[in-house]
Structure 1
């Protein structure tokens, strides 16, 4: 299961699933002045590369304006800023309002890590129309992602096998097989992307953003970070606190947790979301087709997963719906309440022997298109997480931790516990136990937590506020479902966020929207 990643609600049917100060003097870094003076060549955007998820070139904006793309040069190694460079792919929509009221560029990161901002921002364009009245909307493929020197690991055929593996081993043979698959994947990353692997840490991406700020002509960074994008924003604020303009963090990563604590928190978060789904399904006026009570729904799901562990169902030919694929598909559907109807459909079909819908949901989680090609989201996700996270876990350590994970979630606990071995034998050491986001001297940052968020549990918002430091983080609570708050279209949340980003009005700390 990938780390927290914001994914747009899509239409799912049986046959298709549609997605759709300078650096010198701040933290002791030096920067080549030639890079800050570079001029970007903006042109109409091409179709996204396969690494970015493929598909068609972005359609014009509602007012007829075209999306524009450019490439910014950044140092490969920020410890050697005058050395080799890499290209960072950017996309923008020019501000739609009066030029005299334009504030600057509002930079988005939609999460992952590993998500392509170049392919994601156009899909969200309508949601940010109000913000576009005073900002150029800008996003990017972070280093190692998509067209920004994207990391490559296994090929499509190998990835099909990788995602079919048993992610919850029950005996020595299955544990050995899981470690072998993990080692094969990690070795392929080193073979195909050794040059990039040491340089994809979140601190590197934060320095890229500060260069981006300067190249775009802004004195301060205006930023909207979602999911992992909140961690990136927090790291930026730590490195460059006096460069922060107005910033919003939505679906907040807990910056105080190590990899084990984060996975355990996700186990609780996805279990809560599953509980909410089951309660919603069985509380309506119509019968719930996948259970009579909330507990019955969850018991039947657990029984399905146990059965699939021994006997997978037909999925999307020639692939089978395995226990791992079904768990992935269920988790994907919990990212948004808009997906709950597809989870119901997928479960109903699986109980009848058809695994297609759950596999379609799993494919969406893993970045697999209908033509069998993968984006590089998994390669980038693993590479960035393993470069960031210092801990490395053995199978013996995971086995010792299993009881806590199972207590946190009977459905997702094993799967998330065993995901901890993903960085075993990774060729690059991890940077730290958890990110440093302390940002004394920063402008206020609006931190938005969702009480029903599965991937970034609500408690992380308060932890981020505390870690940012006194007078920096301003907490806003949304009592809702799904991953994130602004995209829910809740008018209270959007009014608070828009009021801050557009007019500088900081909402009262502790504001609650429902």
Structure 2
């Protein structure tokens, strides 16, 4: 289930937070051509048998957009390749590699080609191949402007461990269901212990399957892969568009390879200077603010919001009732407080999701769980068969590999109570979301948090109403890099480009001509 327009990026960037004890990613524009993703995934990428350092060997792959969207975009060619990278860049071992899958999309009207535009939708765990396909459908369908596709090949990649790139899979479908269904704010000690036991089971299972490989799924390793991709496609310098977690990936690249940067657009900033607890609290604050904005909109637009009389009360009441008497769903699941919370999170990534949330809660009050479960399943990448993509497996592995300061279980329990008071709907669940890394068995490989000395100007885009990567992160990331320039969109939802003409002009001029946006540029909501 994909939404149109900029919700492609907003849901593909939706998951840096956690809930019910399982990490939920933070994404970018979602389904440009309103595709319905089939149960068999989004198409394969041929393995070329390449060796580390080899140039990409491209093969036509129109099956990828056909499986994702049902067709290829008019005037676009699609080619795929895989590039072998060392499992551990710090100590490469012959024969120990991962395959990183890419897609290259080229417009038939391309002129005066500048190079490749490397794309990442966020997560961690989101597919850059999927994103590139969606963005290839053009501006009218929420894709990239023709001005960009006429100058760049779109190159999407699935980071190591994600989707088509040596995918990591260690969480069973049953455990995924249990994790999402779990109480997002277990108050009694017995309920808390039940959730922690599930987290430990999941962490132990991933450790048993992948063992010493777990640190290799870190952001630092993936950023080094990006430089191998840059070389494999033949670009002397990198041009990159990263959303949400993709901003962290891009910022890490800029610190590791500042001399190889041509232009970076980082939209929906993660602040690398925050520790794990600070980052989680920032998200709790961001989602609480976004939900408050939803309630204000709801009261002012009663015709579109059937719960307008008391939006916050309707949502909290639905979750409270679900504790003891959840509404049954047609597939045998029940709309527990956990599933309602996931649906709530899903709806806040775009302003268009607000109408869906209001309708879903109204229907839930009448005994119909379809709307809220559709929202939750869309976010969780759960198929009607009950199977999941590997989004959350990869998300968990990357987040925990990156984190060397995860709080103890006792600290999580204390923060749960403290944040519940500060952020009534989102505080306790975001505290609980830190539990997986408390049990994670792998060694850690944290990313750097310093200046990108020697890099050219980098554009950092922020949205004032962003729930998942709150606006305050924007200036912090730009300042940390030392070469960052802030562009502000005064809108709602997660990520900004391509949204309004103002944002599009600023980003396109930078990508194409390297024109840095005017200092302090603020773009209106419409």
TM-score after normalising by structure 2: 0.87
Matches within 5 A, 1:34-433: 35-47=52-64, 55-56=67-68, 59-63=71-75, 65-83=76-94, 84-99=96-111, 101-125=112-136, 126=138, 127-128=143-144, 129-194=146-211, 196-284=213-301, 286=303, 288-292=305-309, 296-432=310-446
Contact 1:105 1:218 in 2 (8 A): yes
Q: Distance in 2 between matches of 1:123 and 1:320?
A: 32
Q: Of 446, 470, 486, which aligns to 1:457?
A: 470
Q: Distance in 1 between matches of 2:31 and 2:323?
A: 28
Secondary structure of the 2:73 match is coil
Following TM superposition, by how much is the alpha carbon of 1:330 offset from its aligned partner in structure 2, in angstroms? 0.6
Following TM superposition, by how much is the alpha carbon of 1:95 offset from its aligned partner in structure 2, in angstroms? 4.3
Q: Of 30, 44, 47, which aligns to 1:8?
A: 30
Following TM superposition, by how much is the alpha carbon of 1:336 offset from its aligned partner in structure 2, in angstroms? 0.5
Deviations 1:142-183 (A, max 9, x none): 001011111111222332223222232111211211111001
Q: Of 499, 504, 520, which aligns to 1:494?
A: 504
* RMSD, aligned α-carbons: 2.2
Secondary structure of the 1:66 match is strand
Q: Distance in 2 between matches of 1:455 and 1:493?
A: 19
Q: Distance in 2 between matches of 1:57 and 1:356?
A: 24
Secondary structure of the 1:282 match is helix
Distance change >3 Å, CA 55–CA 372, structure 1 → 2 = farther
Following TM superposition, by how much is the alpha carbon of 1:193 offset from its aligned partner in structure 2, in angstroms? 3.0
Contact 1:43 1:70 in 2 (8 A): no
Q: Distance in 2 between matches of 1:349 and 1:408?
A: 29
Contact 2:60 2:80 in 1 (8 A): yes
Contact 2:110 2:152 in 1 (8 A): no
Matching residue of 1:29: none
Contact 1:59 1:66 in 2 (8 A): no
Q: Distance in 1 between matches of 2:521 and 2:370?
A: 42
Q: Distance in 1 between matches of 2:287 and 2:358?
A: 16
Matching residue of 2:11: none
TM-score after normalising by structure 1: 0.89
Q: Any unmatched runs of 5+ in structure 2?
A: 1-17, 19-23, 39-49
Following TM superposition, by how much is the alpha carbon of 1:57 offset from its aligned partner in structure 2, in angstroms? 6.8
Q: Any unmatched runs of 5+ in structure 1?
A: 21-32, 49-53
